[in-house]
């Protein structure tokens, strides 16, 4: 069986996390998310991890070459031998180039870049409508999964609140940053014939089915 080397792209609220969990379960791929990896490298105390730590402890952005080094180190781990699922990396064309060159050097390649897409207005509606109960963190949505009594948790009666990160203005800022960062990457991978678009407005089960069908087609083409 050939490797399944995947990158996940998509705006916040398009369901990337859910799909990553399902793909990890389907194929046993390690889910490699940049923030987690930097934290893990810091804790493992590798040379690059310690370097990353210095920036993180100072509250500074970890420079590109350190992030790239940590990710590439992670892709060399035993559990990533048959494939990986990258999430949150690459973020820039420079990172994408570095990743491509490193994979080439190991005679590996990307299988596909999955773009789980959803229009901004849907993303804003999905995220800004979330309400969380103060006591236990039960999650509701004002339109899609409303509580029986306004602003009260059905289970424990505690007050529901909106997380600051979920406020509409914050979501719109995140979307602006997302579009600025990601659109060049979408074009980059489209030019290389690697981009596969998935409709993130569908239910998580439908999105999952679409991704599985896409990957099955790619593997079939590969084997011909």
Considering the complex, what minimum distance in angstroms separates the CB of residue 144 from Zn ion?
17
Strand runs labelled E in 25-179: 31-33, 83-87, 112-117, 130-133, 139-141, 160-161
| Nearer to Zn ion (CB atom), residue 112 or residue 153 | 153
Gap between the terminal Cα atoms of the chain:
14
Considering the complex, what minimum distance in angstroms separates the CB of residue 136 from Zn ion?
4
**Residue 33 β-bridge partners:** 87
Residue 77: CB partners within 8 Å, gap ≥ 6?
Answer: 30
Strand runs labelled E in 29-123: 31-33, 83-87, 112-117
Considering the complex, what minimum distance in angstroms separates the CB of residue 7 from Zn ion?
36
What crossing angle do the helices spanning 64-75 and 93-105 adopt, rounded to 10°? Answer: 30
Q: Is 163 a catalytic residue?
A: yes
Which among 54, 134, 163, 219 is annotated as catalytic?
Answer: 163
Q: Is 131 a catalytic residue?
A: no
| Nearer to Zn ion (CB atom), residue 29 or residue 133 | 133
3-state SS assignment for residue 197: strand
The vertex-205 CA angle with 202 and 206, nearest 5°, equals: 45
Residue given tokens 């790619």 in the structure block:
218
Which among 39, 108, 152, 174 is annotated as catalytic?
Answer: 174
Q: Determine phi and psi for 39, rounding to 5 degrees.
A: -65, -45
Positions that interact with Zn ion (CB under 5 A)? 133, 136, 138, 153, 155-156
| Nearer to Zn ion (CB atom), residue 54 or residue 135 | 135
Which among 91, 108, 152, 172 is annotated as catalytic?
Answer: 91
Q: Is 16 a catalytic residue?
A: yes
| Nearer to Zn ion (CB atom), residue 38 or residue 133 | 133
Residue given tokens 């409709």 in the structure block:
199
Q: Is 174 a catalytic residue?
A: yes
Considering the complex, what minimum distance in angstroms separates the CB of residue 148 from Zn ion?
12
| Nearer to Zn ion (CB atom), residue 155 or residue 187 | 155
Considering the complex, what minimum distance in angstroms separates the CB of residue 203 from Zn ion?
24
The residues annotated as belonging to the active site are 16, 91, 130, 163, 174
């Amino acid at each position: 069986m050939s490797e399944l080397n995947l990158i996940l792209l998509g705006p916040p609220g398009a369901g990337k996390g859910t799909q990553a969990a399902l793909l990890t379960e389907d194929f046993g791929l390690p889910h490699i998310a940049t923030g987690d990896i930097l934290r893990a490298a810091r804790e493992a105390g590798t040379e690059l991890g310690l370097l990353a730590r210095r920036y993180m402890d100072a509250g500074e952005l970890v420079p590109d070459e350190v992030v790239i080094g940590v990710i590439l180190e992670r892709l060399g781990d035993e559990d990533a031998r048959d494939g990986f699922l990258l999430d949150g990396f690459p973020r820039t064309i420079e990172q994408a180039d570095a990743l491509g060159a490193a994979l080439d050097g190991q005679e590996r390649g990307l299988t596909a870049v999955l773009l789980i897409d959803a229009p901004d207005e849907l993303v804003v509606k999905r995220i800004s409508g979330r309400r969380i109960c103060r006591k236990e963190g039960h999650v509701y949505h004002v339109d899609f999964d409303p509580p029986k009594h306004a602003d009260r948790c059905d289970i424990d009666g505690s007050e529901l609140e909106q997380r600051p990160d979920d406020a509409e203005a914050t979501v719109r800022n995140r979307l602006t940053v997302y579009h600025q960062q990601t659109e060049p990457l979408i074009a980059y991978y489209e030019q290389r014939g690697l981009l596969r678009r998935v409709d993130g407005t569908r239910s998580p089960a439908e999105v999952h089915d679409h991704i599985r069908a896409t990957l099955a087609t790619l593997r079939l083409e590969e084997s011909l």
